[in-house]
Amino acid sequence: MLYVLGTAIIALGILISVSLHEAGHMLTAKRFGMKVTRYFVGFGPTVWSFRRGETEYGLKAIPLGGFCKIVGMTPQDDDVDPADEPRAMWRFPVWKRTIVMASGSITHFALALIAAWFAAMFVGLPNPDLPTTEAEIRQEPAVIAVTDCVYAQQPTRAGCQPGDPASPARAANLRDGDRITAVNGTPVATWGEMTQTVRNTPPGKAKIDYVRDGTPGRVDVELAAVQRAPVGDPNGPKSTVSALGVELTIQKPATVTYGPVDAIGATARYTGDMAVGTYHAMKRIPEKVPALWAAITGAERDVDTPISVVGASRLGGEALENGVWQILVFLFISLNFFVGVFNLLPLLPLDGGHIAIAWFERARSWVFARLGKPDPGRVDYFKLMPLTYAVILIGGVFTLLTVTADVVNPITLFSR
């Protein structure tokens, strides 16, 4: 039941976000005097509608988005009543058209920022002091989590495999939360110092000093021999080194909550991190298509592959089912931010494509005026239709891939 509820919450959140996106277009267009004839939530057959003034509002049967109809978005629109020609959108100054077209993405950004601000106060945002680079991780105190085994060949894979040596740390009764202070008498303070000292110690018997709950102790261990690449060079030549069978435990909280004022700065930092992450994620989309296809055809699903609305909804259901409702908040934030950025890409039929054309027209008119040539006029959208159809086709295929992958081989947050 909780799974269904979480799925429905994310799906409803996305529908509301898209509806508000279209409301942003409608309200700014009306404010500037453009004529908006229809505003609907959903697509397909009309379920219910009413008219107020010159605009029809309503609900359609397929709840997969929404739309608003602004008269005369392009000079090529052929359904403009002659009486409405002065109010056709394309006749308005470029800055007004830019605001109208960008207002959808601005709405998504506003939703993400407001949700992030509330999350900063009541849920907590990711701790900015957590180490993110290998150099920062190596400077963390050597507080350990004991593993079940020592990975003989691939230290980054999950799960012990046949042939992996048992963890020397577990055999020596070291425990999670112990802080290693010395290896064979060599003092160590950081995770980097500990791992390097263990590596440099010959496999076999060694003495490990530690502190547990403020009390120092010492154990004898039998360090395992494993194959490892050099530190900082995972693709370098492997050699035999020693391993203790422990992982680093970060001693800082994963999330931090703030007061209302401090939450503003925290929200700004979090948004900046999202912007960087979104940029890198969008750059990686083309290279992730083969991974999506592989997931559909039976390969293990790469957790770094894009997801669709279906995938996001399933993650929401899984999170609520496992009692981690906070994930729903961050899904809502990240989805709104991503959609806001994506919608501003300078490609038709996205809003960013209309904005790019409007400013191209303005720049071209300025250049021709400086050259003493007549204004070349508006861009002919009909000539751009092949490119528009290509974008729609590519987007449709990509959406079909992600939806299919999310149905047959979804990303999961928790083992079932």
Could you list the active site residues?
Answer: 22
Pairwise CA distance, residues 234 & 246, whole Å: 19
Cβ within 8 Å of residue 246, ≥6 positions away? 144, 145, 146, 147, 167, 169, 174, 180
Instruction: Describe the strand order of the beta sheet including 239-243 as a list of residue ranges.
Output: 186-187, 179-183, 204-212, 215-228, 239-243
Of 180, 182, 183, 172, residue with least CA distance to 206: 183
Tokens representing 355 are 């904005």
How far is the C-alpha of 179 from the C-alpha of 200, rounded, in Å?
19
